[in-house]
Amino acid sequence: MITINVSDVVKKPSYVTKPTDITFIEDGKKHITKSVILPYDLYERIKEKIEDEIYLYNNKKALSKKAYDDFLEIEPVVEDLQD
């Protein structure tokens, strides 16, 4: 894993266009990670999990806090049953 800032991307665009490792892009002033770039082969292996998490993240506002917590509690059991 490597950590770069935006100016590094400008200097060497291949960090973004042809990543060879997980790359964290951080804010240059605050030194806070803002983006993550994955090599495509790694993305292909974890794509479904990422999509599931994005769906949950985007829809958690639709659920009450208790319903969301209940869902997170039973979700691993459902996944185990699917395998």
3-state secondary structure of 72: helix
48 and 78: one domain? yes
Residues 50 and 71 reside in one and the same domain: yes
Q: Give residue-wise pLDDT tens across range 1-40.
A: 899 988 888 899 998 899 989 999 998 788 899 999 999 9
One domain for residues 65 and 50: yes
Are residue 46 and residue 78 in the same domain, yes or no? Answer: yes
Range of the domain at 24: 2-37
Structural domains counted in the chain: 2
Same domain, 12 and 33: yes
What pTM did the predictor assign?
A: 0.61
pLDDT of residue 73: 84
With beta carbons less than 8 A apart as the criterion, state whether 9 and 25 touch: yes
- The three-state secondary structure class of 1 is coil
pLDDT at 22: 93
**Same domain (yes/no): 53, 30:** no
User: What's the mean per-residue pLDDT of the chain?
Assistant: 84
